Amino acid sequence: MKKRGVLNWEIASVIAQMGHGDMICVGDAGLPIPHEVKRIDLAVTAGTPDLLTVVRVILHELAIEEAILAKELTKNPSYLQELQELLPTEHITYIEHKELKTLLPRAKAVIRTGEFTPYANVILRSGVVF
């Protein structure tokens, strides 16, 4: 049995397959996921699991060069601050939520959480460790 890190085999598998520039999205419960993209549905109930917990675990295993957030998340400054504390701020890009949704078909996977915070979605673009 795996002792630590990402225990969900689908998420671990996607992370292991990611190369430089590949994207994975962690989304709220309401994010529309394109049919052609791998969906990893973790949502159990409202708020469980929360997006911040899932992002925190992924960041322990994935080198990222960019995090893409919706500009609309600035309407919720306390939540945005919590997310910014997890991410290297020099690598955060803000785009319109509509534009963020257009990037989803290029993602290796979208992880659906039980997050009920509006616009709480993050696309992580894989970096390299060298």
Task: State pLDDT tens for residues 113-125.
Answer: 999 999 999 999 9
The predicted pLDDT at position 10 comes to 97
**122-126 and 38-41: which strand pairing?**
unpaired
60 belongs to the catalytic site: no
HEC letters along 76-127: CHHHHHHHHHHCCHHHEEEECHHHHHHHHHHCCEEEECCCCCCCCCEEEEEC
Distance, in Å, from the CA atom of 72 to the CA atom of 3, rounded to the nearest integer, reads 37
**pLDDT digits over 72-121, tens only?**
999 999 999 999 999 977 899 999 999 999 999 999 999 999 999 999 99
Q: What is the pTM of this model?
A: 0.95
Q: Which CATH architecture fits 21-126?
A: 3-Layer(aba) Sandwich (3.40)
Mark 3-16 as b/e (b = at least 16 C-beta within 10 Å).
eeebeeeebeebbe
Of the candidates 20, 60, 91, 97, the residue annotated as catalytic is 20
**pLDDT digits over 19-40, tens only?**
999 999 999 999 999 999 999 9
Distance, in Å, from the CA atom of 108 to the CA atom of 46, rounded to the nearest integer, reads 25
Find the helix or strand (DSSP H, E) in which 17 lies: helix 9-17
Give bridge partners of residue 40 from the DSSP assignment. 111
The predicted pLDDT at position 75 comes to 94
